[in-house]
Chain A
Amino acid sequence: EAGVVQSPRYKIIEKKQPVAFWCNPISGHNTLYWYLQNLGQGPELLIRYENEEAVDDSQLPKDRFSAERLKGVDSTLKIQPAELGDSAVYLCASSKDRNEQYFGPGTRLTVT
């Protein structure tokens, strides 16, 4: 079974530039999550999707962050414009029940 796929694995951009991260969840997993992980901290949930619907986006900074999950499969997380403080690892996870979330390897973003 293929795991959660994320791309790119690393991204370096200058501040004020836009950036996008892509996630392909495990086949059959209806729930998809985006997390942000700062250095030395645990992951923090940004947004959760049930199929195409964002059911929890309370932690998503909506002034610069946006996400979409077209057709209830792949998802894209975008930041525009990026700020220095956005440097972090962005993790995507998927699940088909409440007991276990499967995480991708993450995208490490560096904003200079």
Chain B
Amino acid sequence: AQSVTQLGSHVSVSEGALVLLRCNYSSSVPPYLFWYVQYPNQGLQLLLKYTSAATLVKGINGFEAEFKKSETSFHLTKPSAHMSDAAEYFCAVSVGRSGGSNYKLTFGKGTLLTVNP
């Protein structure tokens, strides 16, 4: 079974500082990896996804993540934080069932990002 661990339930950065949100996964087969963002009282919005193409994935709002198989990691970064980035971020892994007909998402516990002025 697959699993996701997000290190740090709460990360606080200053506006303009580097954002680094950590995600490690466990999967017995090649995974598909996702980062979602959730703003208060809203659903989840996809930031980016890795599906076995380029290991460095660029997403929306200036975010990017790098898939490192040797470290089983998929950390999310953004060079310069903006106040509007304050939200909760979820890393998720998806592994197909036999036959590849379905992929369910397994989520990490989430990391709440606070951006200080």
Chains A and B form a bound pair: no
